[in-house]
């Protein structure tokens, strides 16, 4: 499964994928472009701060209009054929600490609004050094919030339970939307003052168990995306060995291990000191993520990874290519961060002046401002009739390889192959056509429709190697 995180501009008001309903028509061609590029999945952020801006300590009071607007956009995306992952997003807890996600009333007594290193790549240091954020986040995980400046005042309020009430309301609504794949329950959970091990052995399991129970009240089919503690996504451990103390998913086969991956040191250096050793580092990271997922009997899904587009061009393209290579080799589902139709020259993606978007800034010109989209648009397996072991795309040679093993089912293996232009902005890797090789011999027993190649595998073979290569000149 391959997709993008869409609409990080929603970190700012009105906290929706588009700033107005009219913008859907204005930017619809970019949505069509994503379809043409072979992306099947969108991860869309939803914000508790917009849904419950005021706290009634007895009964949740929701802004149902916000939820309905959000759902109306999901229906539009679904109409284009996308699967949707609802991302219950937060960064740095709330705007009080320079971030977003939680309502203003989630603010601990004795703390103040404070943020460090705003609008820099080092904003995540607030999780470590901002004592006001750490106190509030700790109180959230402890389910014990006192905030006497709130109206009405809150005394030992079970704030984590109130978050779970929100999860349930979103799940109830999502269960009625056919194309919603699942809910990512919490974006990048940081342990704050808790130790990493205690956080993952006790607090997160209790939190996720209750969240999943509430989701299951309304749907048995929605996938529950659960994230390990946020140390996973910053890549700062010297030995690069990451573990998770989250328990094995014993009773539910629709639990997803939703991990992130960023090269934080490279980010802090503005893309400088990039070297060839990074390739193996990225491959190892994704293999480890896939391994930990399977150990816990969860579906592996890299729900965030990305490259800052304001680094040196050569670094951007190589970094992106190695990131996608690592996804291919590890055979993990992935959504790339990000596509932002409101990226600007002045503020980039908006939040902390991050600049990841594959599109932008959009101006008055009729030329689409695409940024290295050809690196992200690659052949990949959509459906496999045998177990896929490895896939790899060599972007310069345009050579794609897919290895599968086992006796195949009597259905076709389907591969996205960007060979025909389905949209004026879509990258095409095989403008002169391509040839298919199967287990070392050229193969003509395949069909293609809408850039989706279908091929039936040999039912007598146990190992299957498919190669897609540019057709030789003159053929």
Average pLDDT over every residue of 378-401: 98
The residue ranges of DSSP E strands in 356-451, in sequence order, are 380-383, 387-394, 399-405, 413-416, 434-438, 441-443, 446-449
Whether residue 367 contacts residue 30, with contact meaning beta carbons closer than 8 Å, is answered with: no
Distances (CA, A) of 267 to 27, 70, 181, 234: 30, 32, 31, 10
pLDDT at residue 474 tops 70: no
For residue 258, the model assigns a pLDDT of: 97
For residue 61, the model assigns a pLDDT of: 98
For residue 231, the model assigns a pLDDT of: 81
- Residue spans of alpha helices (H) in 245-311: 264-268, 277-295
For the chain, give the mean pLDDT: 95
Residue 95: band (very low, low, confident or very high) from pLDDT cuts 50, 70, 90: very high
Give the number of domains in the chain.
2
- Residue 171 falls within a domain, yes or no? yes
The string of pLDDT tens digits covering residues 287-297 is 999 999 999 99
CATH number at residue 19: 3.20.20.80
Task: Based on the fold, state whether residues 343 and 414 are members of the same structural domain.
Answer: no
Residue 242: band (very low, low, confident or very high) from pLDDT cuts 50, 70, 90: confident
The string of pLDDT tens digits covering residues 110-158 is 999 999 999 999 999 999 999 999 999 999 999 999 999 999 999 999 9
Q: Report pTM.
A: 0.97
Copy the structure tokens of residue 433.
């056509």
For residue 237, the model assigns a pLDDT of: 72
Helix/strand/coil for 424? coil
Q: What is the CA radius of gyration of the chain?
A: 23
Task: Based on the fold, state whether residues 106 and 202 are members of the same structural domain.
Answer: yes
Angle made by CA atoms 425, 431, 435, in degrees to the nearest 5? 135
Task: Based on the fold, state whether residues 393 and 436 are members of the same structural domain.
Answer: yes
- Residue 475 falls within a domain, yes or no? no
- Residue 244 falls within a domain, yes or no? yes
- Residue 91 falls within a domain, yes or no? yes
Task: Based on the fold, state whether residues 288 and 425 are members of the same structural domain.
Answer: no
Task: Based on the fold, state whether residues 13 and 122 are members of the same structural domain.
Answer: yes
**How far, in Å, CA of 360 to CA of 372, rounded?**
11
For residue 473, the model assigns a pLDDT of: 52
For residue 143, the model assigns a pLDDT of: 98
- Residue 330 falls within a domain, yes or no? yes
Task: Based on the fold, state whether residues 395 and 459 are members of the same structural domain.
Answer: yes
The string of pLDDT tens digits covering residues 16-47 is 999 999 999 999 999 999 999 999 999 999 99
Average pLDDT over every residue of 380-399: 97
End-of-domain residue from the set 377, 412, 434: 377
The string of pLDDT tens digits covering residues 212-222 is 999 999 999 99
End-of-domain residue from the set 351, 377, 403: 377
Whether residue 323 contacts residue 331, with contact meaning beta carbons closer than 8 Å, is answered with: no
Task: Based on the fold, state whether residues 144 and 38 are members of the same structural domain.
Answer: yes
Copy the structure tokens of residue 470.
């540019």
CATH number at residue 448: 2.60.40.1180
Pairing of strands 180-184, 223-226: parallel
Looking at the DSSP bridge assignments, the partners of residue 446 are: 455
Copy the structure tokens of residue 394.
């060599």
pLDDT at residue 84 tops 60: yes
Task: Based on the fold, state whether residues 274 and 295 are members of the same structural domain.
Answer: yes
For residue 233, the model assigns a pLDDT of: 72
- Residue 439 falls within a domain, yes or no? yes
Helix/strand/coil for 79? helix
- Residue 354 falls within a domain, yes or no? yes
Task: Based on the fold, state whether residues 449 and 359 are members of the same structural domain.
Answer: no
Range of the domain at 166: 2-377
Task: Based on the fold, state whether residues 279 and 154 are members of the same structural domain.
Answer: yes
Half-sphere exposure of 144 (CA within 13 A, CB side): 3
pLDDT at residue 342 tops 80: yes
The string of pLDDT tens digits covering residues 169-179 is 999 999 999 99
**How far, in Å, CA of 437 to CA of 422, rounded?**
25
pLDDT at residue 364 tops 90: no
End-of-domain residue from the set 356, 377, 398: 377
Task: Based on the fold, state whether residues 302 and 439 are members of the same structural domain.
Answer: no
Task: Based on the fold, state whether residues 177 and 324 are members of the same structural domain.
Answer: yes
Q: For the chain, give the percent of residues with pLDDT over 90.
A: 93
């Amino acid at each position: 499964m391959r997709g993008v995180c869409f609409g990080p501009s929603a970190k700012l008001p009105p906290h929706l994928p588009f700033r107005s309903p009219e913008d859907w028509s204005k930017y619809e061609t970019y949505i069509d472009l994503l379809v043409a590029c072979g992306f099947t999945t969108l991860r869309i952020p939803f914000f508790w701060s917009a849904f419950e801006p005021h706290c009634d300590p007895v009964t949740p009071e929701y802004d149902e209009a916000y939820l309905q607007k959000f759902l109306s956009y999901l229906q539009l995306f679904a109409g284009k054929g996308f699967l949707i992952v609802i991302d219950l997003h937060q960064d740095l807890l709330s705007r009080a600490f320079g971030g977003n996600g939680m309502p203003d009333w989630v603010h601990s007594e004795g703390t103040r609004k404070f943020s460090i290193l705003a609008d820099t790549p080092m904003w995540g240091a607030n999780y470590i050094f901002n004592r006001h954020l750490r106190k509030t986040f700790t109180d959230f995980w402890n389910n014990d919030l006192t905030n006497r400046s709130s109206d009405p005042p809150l005394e030992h309020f079970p704030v984590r339970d109130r978050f779970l009430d929100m999860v349930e309301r979103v799940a109830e609504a999502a269960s009625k939307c056919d194309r919603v794949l699942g809910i990512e329950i919490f974006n990048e959970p940081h342990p704050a003052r808790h130790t990493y091990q205690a956080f993952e052995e006790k607090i997160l399991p209790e939190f996720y168990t209750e969240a999943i129970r509430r989701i299951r009240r309304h749907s048995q089919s929605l996938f529950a995306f659960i994230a390990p503690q946020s140390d996973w996504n910053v890549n700062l451990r010297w030995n690069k060995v990451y573990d998770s103390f989250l328990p094995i998913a014993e009773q539910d086969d629709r639990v997803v291990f939703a991990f992130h991956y960023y090269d934080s040191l490279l980010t802090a250096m503005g893309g400088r000191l990039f070297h060839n050793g990074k390739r193996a580092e990225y491959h190892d990271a994704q293999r480890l993520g896939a391994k930990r997922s399977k150990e816990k009997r969860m579906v592996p899904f890299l729900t965030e990874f990305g490259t800052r587009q304001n680094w040196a061009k050569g670094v951007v393209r190589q970094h992106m290519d190695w990131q996608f290579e690592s996804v291919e080799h590890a055979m993990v589902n992935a959504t790339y961060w990000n596509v932002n139709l409101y990226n600007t020259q002045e503020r980039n993606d908006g939040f902390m002046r991050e600049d990841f978007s594959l599109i932008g800034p959009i101006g008055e010109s009729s030329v689409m401002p695409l940024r290295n989209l050809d690196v992200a648009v690659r052949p990949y397996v959509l459906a496999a009739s045998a177990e896929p072991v490895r896939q790899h795309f060599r972007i310069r040679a345009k050579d794609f390889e897919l290895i599968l093993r086992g006796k195949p089912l009597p259905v076709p293996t389907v591969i996205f192959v960007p060979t025909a232009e389905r949209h004026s902005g879509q990258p095409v890797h095989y403008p002169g056509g391509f040839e298919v090789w199967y287990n070392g011999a050229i193969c003509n027993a395949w069909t293609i429709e809408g850039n989706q190649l279908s091929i039936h595998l040999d039912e007598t073979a146990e190992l299957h190697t498919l190669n897609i290569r540019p057709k030789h000149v003159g053929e």
